[in-house]
Amino acid sequence: MSDSRMYLNEGSFKVLIVEDAKIIANALKRDIEKKLGLEVELASTMIEAVNLLEERPDRFFLGLLDLNLPDAQHGEIVDFVIGKDIPVIVFTALFEEEIRTQMLNKKVIDYVLKDSPSTISYLTSLVHRIKNNIHTKTLVVDDSKSSRKHLVDLLRLQRLQVFEAESGVEALALLDKYPDISLVVTDYHMETMDGLELTHNIRKKYSHEDLAIIGVSSYGNNVISAKFIKHGANDFLNKPFLAEEFSCRVSQNLTIVETIRKLADFSIRDALTELHNRRYLMDTGKQLFASATRKQINLGVCLVDIDHFKAVNDTYGHEAGDIVLKYISTILKNNFRKTDIVSRFGGEEFCILWVNMTIERAKENLELLRAKIAAEKIKFGNTTISVTASFGVTLQLEDTLEIMIAKADKKLYEAKNGGRNRVEINYAGQK
């Protein structure tokens, strides 16, 4: 069983803050907008919030609500916003266990106290987590239908996409089908394959960098907890547990996985253009080249160089040069296929590895791309900058990838000497 529902439309990343203390509301709005780049709308009364939501509630993916408003002093705003199918985080200056329990029973995401300056930072990080959760896949594994439903409900409350499995075998099949699952929550006691064995099998294929695993068990003790960790789990919880504790553990583990993924991504991408870097190109290129030598694919190399780029830097400054590089990078990324490797090779030079490209299509596509770059007007302040690019291509398989890149570079040199803003292609039969 699975659930891959989305909780909002693309582009609807707006946050609603309902708070009558303007200092707090404005500070929270600034922090969210500055750190997360999200749009925030403020309301200081119940009626203002009603007017905003009656107009078009689907603009908001999250509501941050104070309980005590001038025209609604008993938390009425919470029921209203939840009734519009908008997830809610409650933040209040007053802590009462009865009210906290009441709010959590309404299925709010969290109940946060406004008791320190760090509250703003915590709320902003929570908003960021919920926004990321909308596109994050998780898997719950439990052979008890009621226990599984409880875990699924808690994860959906955090706006996560949730898949369900009632056995370890079904869980492994779902992981094969959805390899981008980021978190697995598995019970310990299950027939055929228990949680420890499932964890062990998952770790044969997926590292800690790929996904997090949280073990849970009503038979929990220190021995089972240690066994889960030794088998490859990231975390363990004894049943029964507080919903807030489960929420915090899930958030922490997902954040760790995302941070590791970002660090790994930074190591293979160029910081300025966000294209793949030379290291990634060569590492991946060797794998593609090996496939080409086994005649599984046809491989081509395309080098692109921005003409007279030094003149751009000398005339307009290096900031303008960076803007041009990013602009051209975007054009290249948008005009090559997802199966192609587009990278910044160095300076103003780019390298693309082409898979299964014919000479006819290469000529046609590159001529269109060359003309597109030449026609672009790149805005820089009050002026516009125009540049052209030269292309050197080889579609001839050589003894090594390095020789293929050298052949493409030779063709790029010919394009430069031929007047620039040209495409030169080396193909089978040429020296």
pLDDT for 261-270, tens place per residue? 888 778 889 9
CA distance 90 to 190: 37
Q: What is the pLDDT of residue 407?
A: 95
Distances (CA, A) of 190 to 39, 169, 187, 235, 282: 45, 11, 7, 18, 46
Closest CA to 300 of 361, 250, 346, 345: 361
CATH architecture of 278-426: 2-Layer Sandwich (3.30)
What mean pLDDT do residues 40-51 have?
A: 95
Distances (CA, A) of 220 to 104, 149, 427: 25, 20, 66
Q: Which CATH class, in words, describes the domain spanning 2-132? A: alpha beta
CA distance 182 to 151: 16
Would you list the domain boundaries of the chain? 2-132, 136-266, 278-426
Confidence of residue 350 (pLDDT cuts 50, 70, 90): very high
Tell me the CATH number of domain 136-266, given options 3.40.50.2300, 3.30.230.10, 3.40.50.720, 3.40.718.10.
Answer: 3.40.50.2300
pTM metric for this prediction: 0.68
CA distance 16 to 373: 41
CA distance 427 to 294: 19
For the chain, what is the radius of gyration of the CA atoms? 27
Specify whether 398 is catalytic: no
Same fold yes or no, 136-266 and 278-426: no
Whether the per-residue pLDDT at 380 is higher than 80: the answer is yes
- Return the biggest CA–CA distance within the chain: 83
What mean pLDDT do residues 92-111 have?
A: 87
Q: What is the pLDDT of residue 220?
A: 62
Q: What is the pLDDT of residue 23?
A: 94
Q: Which of 19, 41, 76, 348 is catalytic?
A: 348
Give the alpha-carbon dihedral of 266, 268, 272, 275, to 10 degrees: -130
The beta strand positions in 67-136, using DSSP E, are 88-92, 110-113
CA distance 309 to 346: 13
The beta strand positions in 241-340, using DSSP E, are 299-306
Whether the per-residue pLDDT at 297 is higher than 50: the answer is yes
What mean pLDDT do residues 85-101 have?
A: 88
Count the neighbouring beta carbons within 10 Å of the beta carbon of residue 18: 28
Taking only the tens place, the pLDDT of each residue in 331-344 is 999 999 888 999 99
CA distance 119 to 86: 22
Taking only the tens place, the pLDDT of each residue in 200-254 is 999 999 998 889 999 999 876 678 999 999 999 999 999 889 888 999 999 999 9
